[in-house]
Structure 1
Amino acid sequence: MIFILLILISAMFIGVIRHQKAQAQARYWERINEFEAQRKRQILATAIKLEQRQTPDSHIEQKWQRAS
């Protein structure tokens, strides 16, 4: 009887440890994905700023291309 109880308790602890490990891994990947999304937003913002700094000549050329 005690032996069966010890097996059940150890199985429960192993299950808890695996569950905690899975949760930690999920949190890790959530952070990685958030950092990746933040990096993409920064790259996009930089690209938009660089595009807005175009010279007036190239801006006029774009207007002519659109009109054509």
Structure 2
Amino acid sequence: MPDTPDSSLWRRARRCGDGACVEVAVLDDEVLVRDSKDPQGPVLRFSRAEWLAFLAGVREGEFDR
């Protein structure tokens, strides 16, 4: 597997308009996250289980202030 996927695999929210967005690429065994302003910059890597736990926490308000 290449270090980072082809640009066609990266997705961002529909509401992202000004280019300051988080991009996500879902692969077979991991989920990658990067800053759209720096596509050649660092990439965060999560297992699918970690990503699903994060999404569940977001939906449940676990990260609300």
**TM-score normalised according to structure 2 size:** 0.25
Larger Rg: 1
Task: Indicate the structure with greater helix content.
Answer: 1
**TM-score normalised according to structure 1 size:** 0.24
Task: Indicate the structure with greater strand content.
Answer: 2
